[in-house]
Every structure is written in C-alpha cells, then in structure tokens.
Amino acid sequence: MAELIEALAGRRARRAFDPRAVPAETQELLWRAVSVAPSHGNVQSTRLLVAESAAVRATLLAALSEGNRNWAPAAPMLVALGSMPDHEHADSYGEERALWSFHAGIAAGNLMAQATALGLIAHPMAGFDEAGVREAFGAPGELRILVVFAIGFPGPAESLPEDLQKRDQREQRRQPLDRLVATDRWGEQHSQPARDPSRSRRDGGKLGR
Amino acid sequence: MAELIEALAGRRARRAFDPRAVPAETQELLWRAVSVAPSHGNVQSTRLLVAESAAVRATLLAALSEGNRNWAPAAPMLVALGSMPDHEHADSYGEERALWSFHAGIAAGNLMAQATALGLIAHPMAGFDEAGVREAFGAPGELRILVVFAIGFPGPAESLPEDLQKRDQREQRRQPLDRLVATDRWGEQHSQPARDPSRSRRDGGKLGR
C-alpha cells in the first residue's frame, strides 16, 4: 500500500538550524509551492514577505515573541506569510468563513510540504506582534499576517539550549482518527477538544505543538 | 535542481470521475494527511465529515450549489472539512487571525497533496449551504464548514458535458512571483488583487479557478 507522503509525514517544526544559506533556486521552489495553492475564485490573496537585509531581519526578529527570539535568530531565512482579505470575492463565503485565513493556510501547508521535500525546516511561528511584522516590511494595514516561518537546513541539536533540545525531540502527538473523522454522523467524541482551549499559548506561540 | 513536488505541481481541481470506489486504506491515508497537519498549540481543531450512506450523501449533495450539483454526484466520495473555533486557544491570535480557518486550510492542503500523490482528484468546493452540510451529518452549530471535497480517481473527460470539459482543460493561471513575494519591502504591485474582488462567485463556488 502507498504510504503517507514524506513531504507530510516527515515535517517537524524543529529549531536547530545549519547556518548555510538557502540557495535562491531552492527559495523559488518554496514561492512556487505557494503560488500553485488553490483559492476560491482563484483570488490568490496570499503574500510572502522575505527578510533579506540585516536591517529588515533585525526589525522582524524584534517583532517575534520572546520564546521565539530564543532560537529563531539562528535560522538563515525568515519569511512572513500574510493575506489580503480585501482581495477575496465579495460574497458571503469569504466573510463568513474567513477565507483569507483559510487560503493562507493552504498556502502555508504547501510551503511546509515543499520545504520538507527539500530537506528544509520551515518552522511556523504564531507568536509575533502583527503590526511590528508589517512595519518591518512597510506593509499596509490591510495585510493580515498569519504566520512567520523560520527556514533553513537542519543543524546539530547541540546548538540549542537543553530545554529546546528536549522540545525538538518530543514526538508529534495527535488525537486518534476516530475523533477527527465522522462517518455519516457527528458523535460526542468529535466535539471534544484535543487540548484544553482555556490554556493560552500567547508567549511560546508556535504552530505544531 | 530539485523540482516542485508532484503532490503540489500535479494538483488540479478536475471534475471527471471514475465510478470505482476509493479503497478504505487509501481513504485512511487522506485522514492521516489531515491528522499530521500542524496547528498553533496543537489544538487539532479540524474535523472531517464523510458521507458514506446513500441518505447522507443525498442530503449533502442537496446542500451544494447548483453549479456543483452538475458534476459532484459522479464523485464516489464526498467529504466536508470543518473546524471548531471554540477549540482554539483563548489568546488573541486565535480570534484576530481566525486561526480556526487557517488551521483548516493547512489540513485541506495536506489532504489535496496526499490525494494528488495517490492519483486521486480532491476537488474543493466552496459553493454550499453551510447549515445544510451540518444538518446532513447532525453536526452542531459550533462546527464551521470550510470546504466540501469531491474525491475519486479520474475518469474520461467525455463523461462531462462540453462546457465542463472545457473548464477542466483550462490551464492553471497564477500571478507572477514578483506580485506574490515582497523581498524586504512591500511595493505597490503587492497590493494589486489577482482578480477583481467585486466579482461574486457565489454560484459556481469552487476553489482553484
């Protein structure tokens, strides 16, 4: 039987980076993975903001949460992914379903899958000050930032402080499939949260664990 | 140089299905692709609703837009993908960024990538009555439906009416990468919509074109 493809199964939000730069043609494959992501009405509302200069990089790093600033500076690439809600089609789907955010999610997933296939880490961070990220790039208020990626090739675990080494080695915990999938009929188990929603993750702020 | 992986580059939202059923172990790979999708704080708020019985299938089909009802009944599988906003962590990220929708987007992208790798079509539809979809599965009002997938192996183009054959053959149009990617600085071109946002796609309602 076919297996879960490596681009999905092999993805981990690791934090230990090798300092070598990501070649331009490899970067372009990440952008193209975002480019081919589908969107309702083909609105293509997703945008990528790449910090290249030292000045922009420093401003972007300063906009990250403290937890992320502990390790993200070691990543050779920092890329924000945002969405333009005004570009969504003016029908009720877009407003009611926050399709600007949904579309950005498909695009972010494509970027992570392509990165994994290339042997890269693309670590998604949710912990950042949105206005600060926009400011780093001079982006307008209409742009909503969904995630900032720390991207690079994997480096030695020992480059991290011990607590982060442990977090990087934790296995990926997922709820059982029968809590995720409802066949024909919704059940009580599908209403159960995988984790306690009252717990705030404001500071650590990352996707994936 | 490495190429854009086939799971992303080969995806097309086609409409011509082969009637043969999707084997259970193949279905499970789609569910696992959704299961491994990352979420902020690992909330895993995405849910899949699979129409298996003829009765649920008929109710779900009746909740689709007229445009989608022209071809979706030929798909051997119909699967709704939804999200539980209440399961998101109680911090401002979730509310402000509609992470429930973003997380569902990552999951939907994973499902499409895995489907493509298995030689399946997973055609995402945005044109449906959300309350009607929930009702088909007896799902609670808290569940937000983002997309309904028509899934199956590809069939002969001639199984479609001529107008849909033409739509299926259209190439994937995307804006140039320099409109999508801003390096260091946001520019005027990044604020340009790829398509006119005033155009409503209410009826045709599909993702991807």
DSSP β-bridge partners for residue A152 = A121
Q: How far B199 CA lies from chain A's nearest CA (Å)?
A: 6
Confidence bin at B200 (pLDDT 50/70/90): low
Query: Residue B4: which of A33, A99, A144 has the nearest Cβ?
Result: A33
Question: For chain B, what is the mean pLDDT?
Answer: 92
pLDDT at B195: 83
Q: Do A108 and B102 touch (CB under 8 A)?
A: yes
pLDDT at A49: 98
- For residue B121, give the CATH number of its domain: 3.40.109.10
Q: Which regions of chain A are under pLDDT 50?
A: 1, 202-205, 208-209
pLDDT tens digits for range B78-101: 999 999 999 998 787 888 899 999
Q: Is residue A198 part of a domain?
A: no
Q: Is residue A204 part of a domain?
A: no
Q: Is residue B93 part of a domain?
A: yes
Confidence bin at B203 (pLDDT 50/70/90): very low
pLDDT at A102: 98
Q: Has the ipTM of the complex gone over 0.85?
A: yes
pLDDT at A198: 65
Q: Is residue A202 part of a domain?
A: no
Q: How far B151 CA lies from chain A's nearest CA (Å)?
A: 15
Closest-CA residue of chain A to B12: A38
3-state secondary structure string across chain B: CCCCCHHHHCCCCCCCECCCCCCHHHHHHHHHHHHCCCCECCCCCEEEEEECCHHHHHHHHHCECHHHHCCHHHCCEEEEEEECHHHCCCCHHHHHHCHHHHHHHHHHHHHHHHHHHCCCEEEEECCECHHHHHHHHCCCCCCEEEEEEEEECECCHHHCCHHHHHHHHCCCCCCCHHHHEEECCCCHHHHCCCCCCCCCCCCCCEECC
Q: Is residue A200 part of a domain?
A: no
Query: Residue A174: which of B44, B124, B126 has the nearest Cβ?
Result: B44
pLDDT tens digits for range B133-182: 999 999 999 999 999 999 999 999 999 999 999 999 888 899 999 999 99
Mean pLDDT, residues B104-110 taken together:
98
pLDDT at B91: 81
pLDDT at A196: 75
The residue range of the domain holding A155 is: 6-191
Q: Is residue B124 part of a domain?
A: yes
Count: domains in chain B: 1
pLDDT tens digits for range B13-54: 999 999 999 999 999 999 999 999 999 999 999 999 999 999
pLDDT at B172: 83
What sign results for the dihedral spanned by CA atoms B2, B3, B8, B14?
negative
Q: Do A2 and B38 touch (CB under 8 A)?
A: no
Q: Is residue A27 part of a domain?
A: yes
Q: Do A118 and B4 touch (CB under 8 A)?
A: no
pLDDT at A209: 34
Q: Is residue B185 part of a domain?
A: no
Q: Do B118 and A51 touch (CB under 8 A)?
A: no
Residue B205's nearest CA partner among A36, A84, A91 is A91
Distance CA A73, CA A97 (A): 35
Query: Residue A89: which of B11, B112, B197 has the nearest Cβ?
Result: B197
